[in-house]
Amino acid sequence: MKQNTITCLIIKIGILCFGFNHITANTSPQKDLLNPKELRVEYLENPKGITTTKPRFSWILEGEGRNRSQIAYQILVATSQKKLDQDDGDVWDSGIVKSNVTNQVEFAGSDLLSKASYFWKVKVWDEKKQDSEWSPTAYFSMGLLNFSDWKGLFISHYVGYDNTDKYDSLYLPPARYLRKSFTLKKKIKRATAHTTALGLYELHLNGKKINDAYFLPGWTDYNKRVYYQTFDITDQLKQGENVIGAIIGDGWYSGYIGYALLVRLDKVREFYGVNPSFMGQIEIEYEDGTFETIASDTSWKSNQGAIREADILMGETYDARLELTGWDTPGYNDSDWKSPKVYTYPDGKLEAHPGTLVKSRERLKPIEITEPKPGTYVFNLGKNFAGIAELKVQGPKGTKVQLRFGEILKRDGNIQTENLRLARATDTYILKGEGLEIWQPKFTYHGFQYVEVTGYPGKPTLDAITGIVLSSIETDASTFQSSDQMNNVLFKNIKTTQSANFFEVPTDCPQRDERLGWTGDAQTYMRSATYNADVAAFMTKFLIDLNDSQRWYGAYPNFAPFPYSRPDQYAPAWMDAGIIIPYNMYKVYNDIRILDYMYEGMEKFMQFQKDASTDYLRPGGGNNWGDWLAVNEETSHDFIGAAYYGYDAKLMAEMAEALNKKEDAKKYGKLFENIKKAFSEKYILENGQTTEDTQTTYALALYFNLYPEGLEKEGADRLAEKIKNNGYKFSSGFLGTKHVMLALSKYGYDDLAYKLFKQTEYPSWGYSVENGSTSIWERWNSYTKDDTVNSDLNAKMNSFSHYAFGSVAEWMFLYAAGIDTEDSGYRNIIIKPAVSKEMDFISASYKSINGTITSSWKWKGKKLIINVSIPTNTSAKIYLPSADLNNVKMNGKKIANEKVKTTSQEQTKTSVVETGSGDYIFEISN
Ligand code: BGC
């Protein structure tokens, strides 16, 4: 991306030089001006405390009418709002940059300083050279950029424990409390907190929780990096006495993680350290220009309180009788508190969290209470989500209310907990007995639809429990509607499950003793994830986890972060996440920087694969799950290994090209050809069938372009035939399923793809919907209405919230609605809906990094109506299913009368219309 570096002085002349119509501030806003909005820095809205010194800016443009585009932009970054208001970009004035780029614009001003805050805005020039109004002000601030800026110690309350390695009884220590009272004498101009923990922490100031995020500071390999948060606390401080407090829980740092206890690993908890601790500081800037820092040190006080147990997997116990009332407020007597213990500084680098934080996204009211046993109440929250339950209760002191969580009910109405395996997932609240008590746990979460309440004083009413949906993302980037109600429910379920599992890392499931960033699941779902939510920052964070956890010999691990492993550490199609996820970040968000960041590791991984291969064939190797949870057909692990190696080479060639590494692009292009040749010689027969003849083998080979030229059609025909013979049902698992859909549509079998999509018999998506599911299941048959306790299934490995099979979302947007990008980052959009008589209509929208794209089609008698909306500053190729343009009306008129470029192809019976931004209606009568 080339940028114009004209200085401030030249800019003003520059406006004249370019001959742009400069609209002065006095001119009343013109209706057709472009409107830059949704300003972001590093994908985040007004981020605080970033540590990237060359942040990237982005905005979205709104503009009325057709063919609207940006031909230039100008960014101003200033040290104060005042300067910015005077159009004084004292930190960066980009000058007028002739470019249509609206994202990934790299900051190129003077050095950004540690702790400083910045104000910025952007204006753009449109195709008529009219400049827009300045955007509203956006904001970002820098974190602590130098180690010497950190003044605090890692401190904690000592609970008398140094180590354990028990299997049989859980070790669940109390949360630790820290407090520090301090007096501020002068008028405060600005105050900022920079805080972190080895473990989980919640920050309090003068009696209130600071920030609405949960699970801070996030999960990393703490030996490599520790994230911290920056909070603006100017409004929370006052002259006089103030109190800062922190509550610390074990979290991922020292609590139970995943299945370690289940398989009795040598370690079952404390993977990064034994005792959790907190570190941080408050920076105060006074009106008189002086500064003061309050940092965590031995002058703080420590204690334990009401939180008796707090573990992500096991749950939380709160004894309200032990509440330290007022502990985080001034005037509290802390004379019986202890001096905190100082803990060793971690090896990990202190950095700002680059992702999006876990927050409450929705509050759910129960839809029903049942009482399967006297005194056992089961609350139904209406859908299967990840989060916590808020309890409302009134009763005598010492009453113990217990909450357990389940995804489904057994026949007898009790919750099913067998599938949680060793995740105890139990929260306990002991009443203090002083009126109405409302409680939420802080350091645990569960995957559930049902809450079982026991020990409740009296008969609870519906408002005794509220579900708090927690997630790192908002699944608001897409809409999808079709004429098949089942498919609409399916779409809702996919989003619910994505929300439940995009929880600090993309987890496999939110309920059992697992919740790990399984790489196979993540790579297969990646493109789907991008359609449903803005996952740019979330996935950037995960790629850092993945890069940090790459094995020394080059393989990417089974999950990231990677606190432990069993003997085998990697697996085909799981380790390939290290290539596939960065590729999608590039494709969807045009993120070149992440490619650059990952490149060395990706090369190492390619070398690892090369070394493991014989004659360009990568064997299965490692831990082998193959086409995980496939039914009735098995694809060999060697086939999967070889296919993914080919796919990786192909993606590497494209990514090397994007990075302008021409030689590497050639190298990987050649490697792909060699793999393809070796692969087809070994696995594809002369009649176009694969040697293994499973649905998955065809799907992978066809979609990864591994078929020898001329035989693809035979391959696709055979796949179609197999699906028909199988009663329009799948026999594929995590890897094959989405590729079956993609391959069918790629080779013209849209009708068949829709039949699979609409199928309701096992195995199909419809089967879960028909059985009442509100989420995506781990298995095709996780549950049936007739089941008692899933007797025919392994209830211990049966999650009801696993997004992997939800990867059909990729097909729904890419093919059914036909929304794709020709380049990277949706500037050149492709609209190519898979129109079929199998549906009456499909209507979808996707909010891309360049704005919202919509694509809908419906039958109106014999006519087909296609509605498309293309965002400002982008162009599109719209594929219409008719080669004869006389049959096509555009916006009610003959297309010949419209100023658009068209091409038609008799062979494929399609026409392509090339357009700029705007709303279009096509009416096609064939
Ligand atoms: C997880 C998966 C994961 C798999 C590996 C399971 O226990 O839940 O989704 O990919 O292990 O086979």
| Strand 828-831 to 875-880 pairing | parallel
Ligand 1 center to residue 518 CA distance, Å?
A: 7
Q: Which of 475, 458, 260, 442 is nearest to 356 (CA)?
A: 475
- pLDDT for the residue numbered 165: 62
Q: Is the C-alpha dihedral spanning 200, 202, 203, 206 positive or negative? A: negative
Instruction: Say how far apart CA 865 and CA 909 lie, in whole Å.
Output: 17
C-beta neighbour count of 687 within 10 angstroms: 9
- For residues 131 and 218, give the distance between their C-alpha atoms in angstroms, rounded to a whole number: 42
| DSSP string across 657-707 | HHTT-HHHHHHHHHHHHHHHHHHHHHHB-TTS-BSS--HHHHHHHHHTT-S
For atom 2 of ligand 1, which residue has the closest CA? 508
Among candidates 526, 506, 667, 664, which has minimal Cα distance to 591? 526
Ligand 1 atom closest to the CA of 799, numbered from 1: 8
Q: Whose CA is nearest to atom 6 of ligand 1?
A: 508
Which of 205, 183, 180 lies closest to 193, judged by CA? Answer: 205
Q: What is the DSSP letter of 256?
A: B
Q: What is the DSSP string of 612-654?
A: H-BTTB----SS---STT--S----HHHHHHHHHHHHHHHHHH
C-alpha span between 99 and 191 (Å, rounded): 38
93 strand-pairing partners: 76
Atom of ligand 1 nearest to the CA of 512: 8
Mutational test site, ligand 1, from 420, 511, 518, 637, max ligand atoms within 8 Å of CB: 518
CA of residue 521 to ligand 1 center, whole Å: 8
**What is the distance in A from the centroid of ligand 1 to the CA of 908?**
41
Nearest CA to ligand 1 atom 11: 518
Question: Is the previous residue joined to 441 through a cis bond, with omega within 30 degrees of 0?
Answer: no
- Cβ neighbors of 699 (< 8 A, separation 6 or more) are 719, 732, 736, 739, 740, 742, 743
Pocket lining for ligand 1, CB < 6 angstroms: 508-509, 514, 518, 520-521, 625, 628, 802
- Cα 573 to ligand 1 centroid, rounded to whole Å: 12
User: Which ligand 1 atom is nearest residue 259's CA?
Assistant: 7
Instruction: Give the nearest ligand 1 atom to 520 CA.
Output: 10
Q: Which of 562, 628, 802, 803 to mutate to test the pocket of ligand 1 (most atoms within 8 A of CB)?
A: 628
Whole-number pLDDT of residue 482: 98
Closest residue by CA, ligand 1 atom 3: 518
* Length of the chain in terms of residues written: 926
> Other C-beta atoms within 10 Å of 698: how many?
33
pLDDT of residue 411: 86
The CA 381 to ligand 1 mean position distance, Å, reads 27
Closest protein CA for atom 1 of ligand 1: 508
Q: pLDDT below 50 — which residues of the chain? A: 1-28, 789, 791-792
What is the predicted pLDDT for the residue at 9? Answer: 33
CA distances from 434 to 419, 458, 464 (A): 37, 16, 16
Tell me how far the alpha carbon of residue 551 lies from the centroid of ligand 1, in angstroms. Answer: 19
Distance (Å) from CA 472 to ligand 1 centroid:
21
Mutate to test the pocket of ligand 1, among 263, 513, 521 (most ligand atoms within 8 A of CB): 521
* φ, ψ dihedrals at 684, nearest 5°: -110, 125
What span, in angstroms and rounded, lies between the C-alpha atoms of 482 and 700?
27
> Residue 621's pLDDT is what?
75
Pocket test for ligand 1, best of 263, 514, 794 (most atoms within 8 A of CB): 514
Q: At what angle are helices 662-683 and 637-658 packed, to 10 degrees? A: 160
For the sheet containing 200-205, what is the strand order? Answer: 208-209, 200-205, 240-249, 176-184, 301-304
Which residue CA neighbors atom 9 of ligand 1 most closely?
508
Q: What is the pLDDT of residue 167?
A: 75
Show which residues are catalytic.
Answer: 514, 778
Cα(802) to ligand 1 centroid in Å equals 9
Ligand 1 atom nearest to CA at 802: 9
SS3 content of the chain, % helix, strand, coil (to 5): 25, 30, 45
Nearest residue CA, atom 8 of ligand 1?
A: 508
Task: Read off the pLDDT of residues 331-363 as tens digits, 9 standing for 90 and up.
Answer: 999 999 999 999 999 999 999 999 999 999 999
Atom of ligand 1 nearest to the CA of 509: 8
Type of residue numbered 567 = P
SS3 783: coil
Beta pairing partners, 866: 857, 922
Alpha helices in 46-199 (DSSP H): 81-85
520 phi, psi to nearest 5 deg = -65, -45
Q: How far is the CA of 555 from the centre of ligand 1 (A)?
A: 18
Q: How far is the CA of 510 from the centre of ligand 1 (A)?
A: 12
- Are the C-beta atoms of 14 and 108 separated by less than 8 Å? no
Pocket probe for ligand 1: among 625, 637, 778, 800, the residue whose CB has the most ligand atoms within 8 Å is 625
User: Measured in angstroms, how far is the CA atom of residue 607 from the centroid of ligand 1?
Assistant: 26
Whole-angstrom distance, CA of residue 163 vs CA of residue 254: 10
Of all protein residues, whose CA lies closest to atom 5 belonging to ligand 1? Answer: 625
